[in-house]
């Protein structure tokens, strides 16, 4: 696993506002959307492209186009939905799949309740959207599902990460075909598996408590 910490001043600024307990739901959604677009720029830095030639109004220009097969974006329900618009803004041609995961608050073990993924992903690059990389259990499960279907590379885009979760993902995927792009790596997890200082429950702050 490889890690990219997006330590851009705008990332830090928006993340600071997200952390603030006084930030309301509407503002939290807007900030998340903006922050994901910034993270997506870094997450797609290694996306595959092929040389391309186009005719401009005054001549021939050499450039590049995204290679086939087109990438897949996979938000992890429900909080990952709040990151989808920010990612598709940069990759409007990408397909979108979904994985629903729920964590047992006693055991901290995540289980799958929904799966809308292609049966095969041979040669495709996949971008997983999950706001919080906490214990790492959810991300390990989702990445395993994608690699088992033949994904060529998986990049997880997370607003925040904890050292414990990073270590777990790295142990599960020691190769270089899995990357984590995050806005910050925080201090630790608490006894409830929440990131400290973190920003609270991302799903609740995006969509309200249910």
Q: What is the mean pLDDT of residues 47-55?
A: 96
Binding residues for 5-phospho-alpha-D-ribose 1-diphosphate: 78, 103, 130-138, 201
Q: Is the pTM of this model over 0.95?
A: no
The enclosing H or E element of 127 equals strand 125-129
Mean predicted confidence (pLDDT) in 126-146: 95
Q: Structurally, what CATH architecture does the domain formed by 2-207 represent?
A: 3-Layer(aba) Sandwich (3.40)
Res 107: pLDDT = 64
DSSP symbol at 185:
B
pLDDT of residue 106: 66
* C-alpha–C-alpha distance, residues 155 and 104, integer Å: 25
DSSP 79: G
Q: Which residue pairs from 204-209 have beta carbons closer than 8 angstroms and sit at least 24 positions apart in sequence?
A: 205/18, 205/23, 205/25, 205/28, 206/25, 206/28, 206/29, 206/32, 206/79, 206/81, 206/82, 206/131, 207/25, 207/78, 207/79, 207/82, 208/25
Q: Where are the domains of the chain?
A: 2-207
Give me the residues paired with residue 115 across strands.
99
Q: What is the pLDDT of residue 149?
A: 96
Q: How confident is the model at residue 101 (pLDDT cuts 50, 70, 90)?
A: confident
- Binding-site residue positions for uracil: 195, 200-202
Q: Kindly state the average pLDDT of the residues 53-72.
A: 96
> What DSSP designation does 93 have?
T
Average pLDDT of the chain?
A: 93
The pLDDT of residue 72: 97
pLDDT reported for residue 105: 67
- CA–CA distance, 82 with 85 (Å, rounded to integer): 7
The number of helices, as runs of H, and strands, as runs of E, in the chain is 6, 14
Query: Angle at which helices 163-172 and 137-148 pack, to 10 degrees?
Result: 30
Quick one: pLDDT band at residue 114, thresholds 50, 70, 90? confident
Q: How confident is the model at residue 70 (pLDDT cuts 50, 70, 90)?
A: very high
Q: Which residues are known binding-site members?
A: 78, 103, 130-138, 195, 200-202
Average pLDDT for 77-93: 94
Q: Quick one: pLDDT band at residue 208, thresholds 50, 70, 90?
A: confident
């Amino acid at each position: 696993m490889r890690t990219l910490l997006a330590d851009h001043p705008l990332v830090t600024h928006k993340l600071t506002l997200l952390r603030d307990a006084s930030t309301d739901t509407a503002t939290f959604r807007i900030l998340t959307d903006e922050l994901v677009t910034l993270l997506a720029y870094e997450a797609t830095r290694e996306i595959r492209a092929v040389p391309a030639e186009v005719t401009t109004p005054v001549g021939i220009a050499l450039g590049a186009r995204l290679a086939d097969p087109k990438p897949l974006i996979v938000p992890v329900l429900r909080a990952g939905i709040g990151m989808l618009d920010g990612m598709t803004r940069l990759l409007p041609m990408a397909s979108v799949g979904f994985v629903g995961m729920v964590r047992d608050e006693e055991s901290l073990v995540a289980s799958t309740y929904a799966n809308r993924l292609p049966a095969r992903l041979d040669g495709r690059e996949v971008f997983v959207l999950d706001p919080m990389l906490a214990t790492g259990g959810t991300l390990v499960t989702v990445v395993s599902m994608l690699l088992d279907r033949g994904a060529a590379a998986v990049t997880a885009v997370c607003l925040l990460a904890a050292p414990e979760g990073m270590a777990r993902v790295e142990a599960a995927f020691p190769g270089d075909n899995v990357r984590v792009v995050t806005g910050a790596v925080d201090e630790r997890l608490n006894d409830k598996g929440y990131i400290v200082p973190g920003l609270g429950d991302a799903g609740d702050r995006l969509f309200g408590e249910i």
